[in-house]
Amino acid sequence: DADVTQTPRNRITKTGKRIMLECSQTKGHDRMYWYRQDPGLGLQLIYYSFDVKDINKGEISDGYSVSRQAQAKFSLSLESAIPNQTALYFCATSGSGGPSYNEQFFGPGTRLTVL
């Protein structure tokens, strides 16, 4: 079984709809992240969380919100989706100590299309 899972894997929705993307991990990591990837722009950090009570904005948080329901779960919401939020979304996790704490492990991604 995958260590970091994302649901749904693909979603097509309409402008103005509320969308939630879910992420779960079994790695026991404290830190979780949401990124979006657009062609030619690389990965951009949306939000990150270093533990259950910690939520931080990333580079491009406008139009998004997150919830860290438990250590293993981190969800991303688009309150009112717009077409320029069409992208590939990745969840990632990392540990908080030890020599490899900077390594991030990614989920398989969610391809979101907003019409």
Partner 1 sequence: RKEVEQDPGPFNVPEGATVAFNCTYSNSASQSFFWYRQDCRKEPKLLMSVYSSGNEDGRFTAQLNRASQYISLLIRDSKLSDSATYLCVVNFVAGGTSYGKLTFGQGTILTVHP
List contacts with partner 1 (CB under 8 A). 31, 35, 40-43, 45, 48, 50, 58, 88, 90, 94, 96, 101-104, 106-109
CB of 78: closest distance to partner 1 in angstroms?
20
Residue (8 or 16) nearer to partner 1, CB = 8
CB of 18: closest distance to partner 1 in angstroms?
25
Q: Residue 115 pairs with which residues in a beta bridge?
A: none
Residue (17 or 34) nearer to partner 1, CB = 34
DSSP 38-106: ETTTEEEEEEEESSTT--EE-TT-TT-EEEEEETTEEEEEESS--GGG-EEEEEEEE-SSSTTTT--EE
Residue (9 or 18) nearer to partner 1, CB = 9
Q: Count Cβ atoms within 10 A of the Cβ of residue 97 and give its class: 0-12 exposed, 13-18 middle, 19 or more buried.
A: exposed
CB of 38: closest distance to partner 1 in angstroms?
10
CB of 16: closest distance to partner 1 in angstroms?
28
Residues 106 and 70: their CA atoms lie apart, in Å, by 18
Residue (79 or 103) nearer to partner 1, CB = 103
